[in-house]
Amino acid sequence: MKEYHGKVVMVTGASQGLGKAMAEAFAERGAKLIVNSVDPPEVLEALVSELRAKGAACEGIRADVSKEEEVADLFARTASVFGRLDVLINNAGISRAEALSEITMQSWEEVLAVNLTGTFLCCKHAMPMMQEQRSGRIIQIASVVAQQGALYGHVHYASSKAGQLAFTKTLARTAAPYGITVNAIAPGIIETELLRSTLGNQKIEALSSSVPLGLGNPRDIAAAALFLASEGARYITGATLDVNGGMHMR
């Protein structure tokens, strides 16, 4: 299947977990890729090598999505290398399991800077490219905690993800006249390095036992992203796709 042949896809926070799974899925389907992370250069280089081995045209660009000058450079280099951008997946994010009384101003600001400000900055710099093309897909990777709240603290994380959903709806309205759709995916409990480091095995097992379909896999989120980026989703915008195994039902 090469349904994304010729399409240029950017995935932020792509070096592991959900981001890596999404990058691999698009690479396997013929997309050209920009993969981004703040991990050490050798980590990003290893990912680029893996994706090129799958036959994908791929560039790795290290940038902190919370810093506008770095985001501006990320998109300028994307335009220079590929000349267009068809799909932006805002996946870069951080999470910390901290009770409200433990959250410092620095921690609050850092979580919102990456998760919410990063979404804003990437969309801000992607929109001119997509408006000129009069086409594009923007996908935010939010979280089920944006809808039901978090069980183990990290109110800063839940707040940033809820902000992403409101941002998605508003941008969807302004982007629609240009043929650009803007949607979000709200994952539930997905087996990733970030989840393990944030909650630990005991809390994860307790949570997953209460989910009808159990623990999810990064490939489940990749499948949702492939759908929202597809022509089959052309009439879907401002929506949140719940991929949570039945953890939260609306």
- Of the residues 4, 152, 157, 178, only one is catalytic, namely 157
Cα-Cα-Cα-Cα dihedral sign, residues 42, 46, 52, 58:
negative
| Residue 29 token pair | 């389907």
Q: How many CA atoms lie within 13 A of 149 on its CB side?
A: 3
Would you say 23 and 51 are in contact if contact means Cβ atoms under 8 Å apart?
Answer: yes
Q: Using DSSP, state whether 136 is helix, strand or coil.
A: strand
| Residue 3 token pair | 């349904």
Q: What is the 3-state secondary structure (H, E, C) of 57-70?
A: CEEEEECCCCCHHH
| Residue 158 token pair | 């839940």
Q: In residues, how long is the chain?
A: 250
Give 3's DSSP letter: T
Residue 157 appears among annotated catalytic residues = yes
Catalytic residues: 157
